[in-house]
Amino acid sequence: MSALALYQLVAVMLFCIGIYGVTWRRSLVGMLISVELMLNGAGLSIVAAAQLTPASAVLGQLATLLVMGLAAAEATLVLAIIIVIARRFETTETDAVPELKG
């Protein structure tokens, strides 16, 4: 098996652990942590594909940098949403906040 396939398999592992966490976690903060795992899997896959194939390496590394920037923006917004929910419902457990409109 080539080195590229090994790196891609590790990235798939990260992604799947993350998606399992999103379904399994009971609180919004736990889901946020799992989403970060998934984004890391994506970043690792992009860098491996850029560095180990004849494709443009600069493009791949810059794409991963952009993914990191998006992850930071996403974490900021999710933090704000979690704080709003915590103030309104006084909990961040997903089972306790089933309504969308309230």
Partner 1 sequence: MEVLAKIAFGMYALIILCGGAVTVTAQSLVRALIGLIATLFAVAGMYLLLAAPLIAFMQILIYVGAVCVLIFFAIMLTRASGEGKEAATPTARPAHQYANAVLVLLAPAVFLSWVIIRHPAKSVPVPAKVTVAELGKGLLEPYTLSFELISVVLLVAMAGAVLLIWEKRRKE
Which of positions 12-51 make contact with partner 1 (CB under 8 A)? 12-21, 23-27, 29-30, 32-34, 36-37, 40, 43-44, 47-51
Task: Count CB atoms within 10 A of the CB of residue 6.
Answer: 12
What the block records as the tokens of 76 is 């900021």
- The Cα 80–Cα 16 span in angstroms is 26
Which residues, 63 to 82, sit near partner 1 by CB under 8 A? 64-66, 68-82
Q: Report CA-CA distances (Å) from 24 to 19, 46, 55.
A: 9, 26, 37
In the complex with partner 1, the residue whose CB is nearer, 23 or 99, is 23
- Give least dist CB 9 to partner 1, A: 6
Q: What is the DSSP letter of 27?
A: B
In the complex with partner 1, the residue whose CB is nearer, 77 or 99, is 77
Which residues, 82 to 101, sit near partner 1 by CB under 8 A? 82-84, 86-88, 91-93
- The Cα 94–Cα 31 span in angstroms is 10
102 counts as binding partner 1 under rule CB under 8 A: no
